[in-house]
């Protein structure tokens, strides 16, 4: 049989993944005790319904699972079944927000706060994360994108290897974007904020863009930074990373970072990179 283990952090999208697999014809079970896994697999294997695709949600809710998952997975593989482990994850900030929106208590620790529960769960699942077939970070995925990734991973299509680059400008004054994989500081470039005629405008305006992109330092920087990204992207794709968040920062996130991010966006868009852009702090009025 083809057996998919759905595991990972509480609030990371496991329920959505299971619904996607059910739609694909998988027989799905949530929170099956470890002691019953072997019995279930045997029953499914010899069922009149000829069950060939099974998805099991196994996580922190069953403490026996944390202690015995390696034995369970080994016995499945030894019996000749194809076993894939999908580990679902998200940033602490996103998980906290999701728990706040649903008003659920964290299942990992009785009576603990959500942040404490997340920290405990990460620690308990660290070993499982290391042996996962795929790690799916859902921090910036909507429900539709998550289903897409799960189904394409199961089917083994090229889409499963597709990586989305999330490019954003931001202002250091307002804090680092927590979801960043790569952060580039462009505060070394001349600042249009100190040009009175340009100060009211953003890096989306032609005058500001010409000022920023017309600097000698900018030309050299863009050439080298683009080269670095062109080197890195194929490597991240090979490692199965679904999303890469690249953040470009200046002082206030309105002029230099916006112009640079926009230029990078146009460059990689023309080269058929799956890329999206957001200007986080463009309306906050600083340089």
| Closest-CA residue to 263 (of 208, 193, 187) | 208
pLDDT in tens, 152-199: 788 764 444 467 899 999 999 999 988 889 999 999 999 999 999 999
Residue range 2-159, CATH number: 3.40.50.300
Q: What is the pLDDT of residue 156?
A: 63
**Alpha-carbon distance 218 to 209, whole Å?**
11
- Asked if residue 11 lies in contact with residue 144, where contact means CB atoms within 8 angstroms, the answer is no
- Asked if residue 7 lies in contact with residue 85, where contact means CB atoms within 8 angstroms, the answer is yes
Strand partners, 85: 5
**Alpha-carbon distance 113 to 269, whole Å?**
42
pLDDT in tens, 241-266: 767 899 999 999 999 999 999 999 99
What are the CA-CA distances from residue 200 to residues 86, 96, 169, 260, 277 (Å)?
Answer: 48, 36, 18, 18, 22
| pLDDT tens over the chain, length 287 residues | 889 999 999 999 999 999 989 888 899 988 888 888 888 888 888 887 778 899 999 887 876 777 778 888 888 888 888 889 999 999 999 999 998 887 778 887 777 888 998 999 999 888 888 888 888 999 888 887 888 888 878 876 444 446 789 999 999 999 998 888 999 999 999 999 999 999 999 999 999 999 999 999 999 999 999 999 999 998 887 776 767 899 999 999 999 999 999 999 999 999 989 899 999 999 986 66
* Sequence spans of domains, the chain: 2-159, 164-279
Q: Please, what's the b/e burial string for 94-116 (b: 16 or more CB within 10 A of its CB; e: otherwise)?
A: bbbebbeeeeeebebbeeeebee
């Amino acid at each position: 049989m083809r057996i998919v283990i759905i595991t990972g952090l509480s609030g990371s999208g496991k329920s959505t993944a299971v619904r996607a697999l059910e739609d694909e014809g998988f027989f799905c079970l949530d929170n099956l005790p470890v002691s019953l896994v072997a019995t279930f697999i045997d029953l499914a294997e010899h069922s009149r319904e000829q069950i060939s695709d099974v998805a099991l949600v196994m996580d922190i809710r069953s403490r026996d699972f944390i202690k015995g998952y390696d034995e369970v997975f080994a016995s499945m593989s030894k019996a000749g079944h194809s076993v894939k482990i999908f580990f679902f994850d998200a940033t602490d900030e996103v998980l906290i927000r999701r728990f706040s929106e649903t008003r659920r208590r964290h299942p990992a620790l009785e009576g603990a706060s959500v942040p404490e529960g997340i920290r405990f769960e990460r620690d308990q699942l660290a070993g499982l994360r290391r042996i996962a077939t795929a790690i799916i970070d859902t921090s910036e995925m909507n429900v539709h994108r998550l289903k897409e990734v799960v189904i394409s991973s199961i089917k083994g299509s090229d889409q499963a290897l597709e990586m989305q680059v999330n490019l954003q400008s931001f202002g250091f004054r307002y804090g680092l974007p927590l979801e960043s994989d790569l952060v580039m500081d462009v505060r070394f470039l001349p600042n249009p904020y100190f040009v009175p005629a340009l100060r009211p405008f953003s890096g989306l305006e032609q005058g500001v863009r010409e000022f920023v992109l017309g600097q000698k330092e900018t030309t050299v920087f863009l050439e080298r930074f683009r080269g670095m990204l062109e080197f890195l992207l194929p490597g991240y794709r090979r490692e199965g990373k679904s999303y890469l968040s690249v953040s470009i920062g200046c002082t206030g996130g309105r002029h230099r970072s916006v112009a640079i991010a926009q230029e990078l966006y146009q460059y990689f868009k023309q080269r058929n990179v799956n890329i999206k852009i957001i200007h986080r702090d463009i309306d906050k009025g600083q340089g």
